[in-house]
Amino acid sequence: MKYAIISDVHANPTALEKVLADSARYGVEKVICAGDVVGYGPDPVGAIRILRERNIPVVMGNHDAAVAGWRDTGDMIPHARDTDARHHDELGADDLEWIRSLPYVYADENIAVAHANFVNPQMMAYIHDQTDARHSLVFRDERVLFVGHTHLEALFALKFVPCNSNPVLHHIDCRQVEPRDFRTVGEWRYLVNVGTVGYPRVKDYSSYVLYDSATGDLLFRRMTFDFAGYVSALRAKSMPVPAWL
């Protein structure tokens, strides 16, 4: 199966359409979204419509839960809190029910997708380093795990290594690797942060990941979107332009 794993669309349907068009050129058979369809951006209705019309599986992100009214926004920065409230008011009852129906984890053919982490996905705790990644990799059995949430691409690899003193016991070798295209090998298992489609914070591009479960190949894809149009759409709704623009 050829997958495209996307995340953090953040109400940016223009960027989403470009990513989906790019993935189609690779013969992708299934797209999965790791959450945060809404929040920050100018068009939550448009982003949801694209995902629903194409029957793309989506997991619950922290902004999705906040817009649905299921998550307290007291710990969010004011800009995030304000846009989530605005998006709640813009969405119709049917779209809000769709958001509330989203699962926290989606599993398929020896892969699993969550927004933030797998140990307690409802808590939306970030995976910042190899210690955080190790917890999720040990908790799940799938070969490759995919997350978003940080808006930054990342790659972690884990292997159970026999202890020299006792061949029955194992210790866990978990490493953080610079994100790069690779092929899954041997007994290693992987946790991949696919970055963000619609709201980059450091780099000026959308990012997502292609994964072929038959060959084990995984590719990081990056592309710019219409930043001028994005800014115009924000200003048309009197929304603040983020610092990265």
β-sheet bridge partners, residue 166: 163
Query: Each residue of 48-96: pLDDT tens digit?
Result: 999 999 999 999 999 999 999 988 877 888 889 999 999 999 999 999 9
Quickly state the pLDDT bin for 162 (edges 50, 70, 90). low
**From CA 6, how far away is CA 16, in angstroms rounded?**
9
Kindly tell me if the per-residue pLDDT of 169 is higher than 60: no
DSSP result, 19-80:
HHHHHHTTT--EEEE-S--SSSSS-HHHHHHHHHHTT--BPPPHHHHHHTT-S--TTS-HHH
**From CA 208, how far away is CA 205, in angstroms rounded?**
10
Q: pLDDT averaged over the chain?
A: 93
pLDDT of amino acid 243 = 78
The alpha-carbon radius of gyration of the chain (Å, integer) is: 18
pTM to 2 decimals? 0.95
Domains of the chain: 2-236 (3.60.21.10)
